[in-house]
């Protein structure tokens, strides 16, 4: 192992360790946000809901494929989100056998309110950061998640 290879391995291990810390913190934030939307809501239901919000409208099948979940789990969680008034179904104009899932106005309001504390926390954490550093971190994370080389 060359010195450069060893240094790279050490750097990757340090990054992996920090990701572990970040994931733990992220899980806590997701649990708290889910609870703010509806006491007892599980993080998985929150993830499904926020995915529907991000996609604006999506079928249950596409949601199952995207999140790599079985259709039974998706169906149960969709019913829970509908019962809570967070999402609605509308006929899919391209497939009469299917429905599109989308957030209700009430769901969007509750999500915005649930996210406010974590957004405030992120703003506070980044208050002393240079704007260029925030943009650079965003670009680096995007490159990592897409498997592409970071751009300058």
Residue 75 resides in a domain: yes
Q: What CATH number does residue 50 fall under? A: 1.10.10.10
Between 5 and 100, where is the model more confident? 100
Burial annotation 13-30 (CB, 10 A radius, 16+ → b, else e): eeeeeeeeeeeeeeeebb
| Tally of domains in the chain | 1
Residue 78 corresponds to which tokens in the numbers above?
Answer: 């969709």
pLDDT, the chain, mean: 90
Segments forming the whole domain that contains residue 51: 3-146
Looking at the predicted structure, is the pLDDT value of residue 2 above 70? no
C-alpha–C-alpha distance, residues 129 and 135, integer Å: 10
Looking at the predicted structure, is the pLDDT value of residue 107 above 90? yes
Residue 151 resides in a domain: no
pLDDT tens string 108-138: 999 999 999 888 888 898 999 999 999 999 9
Residues 131 and 82: beta-carbon distance below 8 Å: no
pLDDT tens string 81-98: 999 999 999 998 887 788
Looking at the predicted structure, is the pLDDT value of residue 23 above 80? yes
């Amino acid at each position: 192992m060359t010195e450069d290879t060893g240094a790279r391995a050490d750097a990757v291990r340090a990054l992996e360790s920090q990701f572990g810390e970040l994931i733990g913190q992220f899980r806590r934030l997701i649990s708290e946000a889910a609870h703010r939307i509806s006491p007892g809501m599980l993080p998985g239901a929150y993830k499904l809901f926020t995915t529907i919000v991000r996609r604006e409208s999506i079928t249950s099948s596409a949601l199952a494929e995207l999140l790599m979940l079985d259709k039974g789990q998706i169906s149960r969680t969709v019913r829970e989100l509908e019962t809570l008034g967070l999402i609605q179904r509308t006929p899919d104009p391209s497939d009469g056998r299917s429905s599109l899932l989308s957030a209700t106005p009430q769901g969007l309001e509750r999500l915005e309110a649930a996210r406010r504390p974590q957004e405030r926390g992120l703003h506070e954490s980044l208050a002393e950061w240079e704007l260029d550093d925030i943009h650079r971190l965003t670009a680096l994370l995007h490159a990592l998640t897409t498997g592409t080389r970071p751009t300058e």
